[in-house]
A and B are shown apart, each in its own frame.
Chain A
Amino acid sequence: MKNIFLFIRRYFTFLSFLLLQIAAIILLSSSSPSHEAFFAAATSEMVGKIDERYSKLRNYFNLAETNRQLVEENNRLKNMLAANFQAPDSSRINFTDTIHRDTLGRFRKFTWLPARVIGNTVTLQTNFLTLERGSLQGVKKGMAVISPQGIVGVVVETSDNISKVMSLLHRNSRVSAMLKKDNNAGTIEWDGSDPAYLTLRNISKSAKIAKGDSVVTSTYSANFPSSLMVGTVADIIADPSSNFYTLKVKTATNFFSIQYVYLVENSRYNEQVALENNASRNP
């Protein structure tokens, strides 16, 4: 017993070094993939408050760009209004079927919520956004995050008033996407090098691809509604050892100047994910 105490006293510095290292590594490994555990709500709220102060200041520098994005989006949406599509003269009665409200909640699958971005990084290997909207305001884990220009990421963590979003610019981010032209689906990832470019993998070599083709979210995703803009093909890399193309995709979203985003909730998200992850039933 005495020897143990002597040992501890002798190597106290080294032991405390090891202890702190192990603490750090445990924190890291238990929080790494999308960092859910250990991130106590209290620190999230506090850091969120500081981020919020800073973003209020930074907001002014991006106002022009934000306005431009919103005007562009409004213009795009106005063009999709049902009133714009009227057949010239074919019938006497003009009938457009647009369900604005679905009070029973039977048909509505996606619900959209606006949120302000109060924290954002693009320079790290693991980039997150912080939004000023939390579980009290209806944010849930797994909700899709979309900017006026294109998709942004997925909510990985919520506290009462703040939520944390895993950006597309995260080494562990995976989003199902397809080519708009022929609906060939693949996976959008980020290789960590350039925040303006994503990687689209597993596109079959039978697909006819040209530079500039649009890439949109696929119909398979549980988080994202389909056919939302992801980006445009910037480069086509044919890997001779496989049957798949690897495409370099220019992001539609400008990650450097995101100010406001939409959160999209899929009301059947839990059901779909639970069923898809239920691998044990497969014969």
Chain B
Amino acid sequence: MSSLLKNIIRFILFILLQVFILNEVPPLHQFIVPYVYFLFILWLPFTINRVLLMVIAFAFGLSLDFFTGTLGLHAAPCVLIAFIRPALLGLILPQETIEQSYSEPGIKSMGWAPYLLYIGLLTFVHHVYLVFIEWMQFGDILYFLGKVTGTTAISLLLILLAELLFHRKSKYRTNAA
């Protein structure tokens, strides 16, 4: 399957998953909201133009916003992590080897520790920004800190579960491909 087609299917699936399953889950606590939709952006291929990456992230966040009725609330953090992503990848990866041999970020292509760092940092940044925007409209500092911690923890848990349950075939890029 081509990378484009795969990512289009992922786009739709992640939106549907977030809107119709995760947003419907009865809340355990006000701080714990299961977000995993932004994993779509983290899984996009290495070799993608930075500006294109941000435009995709914006469109992705906005299409989620259409469902939740809060225009721009999810689009802004998505654009932010899309902006940080290439720089972070450049920092934690040995440049030549991996980006050229694997197509997208994953446990296999990056190794456990760098991948966890990558996922963890971007998840944290995403939630800090998302909750910060919410917090600007209402709320107090305790709400901000609690919700960032709660949502980050539950997101990381869900992402790790997804990684363990769904084995992504990380394509090894050869010259022929």
- A-side residues, CB < 8 A to B, are 12-14, 16-17, 20-21, 23-29, 31-32, 35, 38-39, 43, 46-47, 50-51, 54, 119, 121-126, 128, 164, 171-172, 192-195, 256
Contact = CB atoms under 8 A, between A and B. Distances in A.
Interface in B14-58: 20, 23-27, 30, 33, 50-51, 54-55, 58
A126 B69 contact: yes
Interface string B62-87: 10011111111101100110010000
B79 A20 contact: yes
B72 A28 contact: yes
Given A21-B79, A32-B137, A192-B139, A124 B33 contact: yes
The interface size bin for chain B is 35 or more
A267 B149 CA distance: 48
Given A16-B51, A31-B71, 13 more contacts: A13-B54, A17-B54, A24-B58, A24-B72, A27-B62, A28-B70, A31-B70, A31-B72, A46-B66, A121-B24, A123-B27, A126-B68, A194-B30
Which 8 A-B residue pairs are closest in the complex by CB-CB distance? A28-B72, A27-B72, A24-B76, A193-B30, A24-B72, A24-B75, A27-B71, A128-B69
A125 B138 CA distance: 10
Nearest to B138: A171
B70 A123 contact: no
A23 B57 CA distance: 13
Nearest to A39: B71
Contact of B69 (A12, A164, A256): A164
A122 B25 CA distance: 9
Interface centre among A25, A123, A256 (most CB of B within 10 A): A123
A14 B51 CA distance: 9
B163 interface: no
Contacts of A164: 69
B133 interface: yes
Interface string B131-162: 00110011100010000000000000000000
B128 to A, nearest CB: 15
A256 B26 CA distance: 8
B138 A35 contact: no
A124 B79 contact: no
Nearest to B61: A24
Contact of A12 (B51, B58, B137): B51
B137 A171 contact: yes
Contact of B23 (A16, A17, A121): A121
Contacts of A125: 134, 138
A125 B80 CA distance: 22
29 contacts: A13-B51, A13-B54, A16-B51, A16-B55, A17-B54, A20-B54, A21-B79, A23-B72, A24-B72, A24-B76, A26-B72, A27-B62, A28-B71, A28-B72, A28-B76, A28-B133, A47-B67, A121-B24, A123-B25, A123-B26, A124-B68, A125-B134, A126-B69, A126-B70, A128-B68, A171-B137, A192-B138, A192-B143, A194-B27
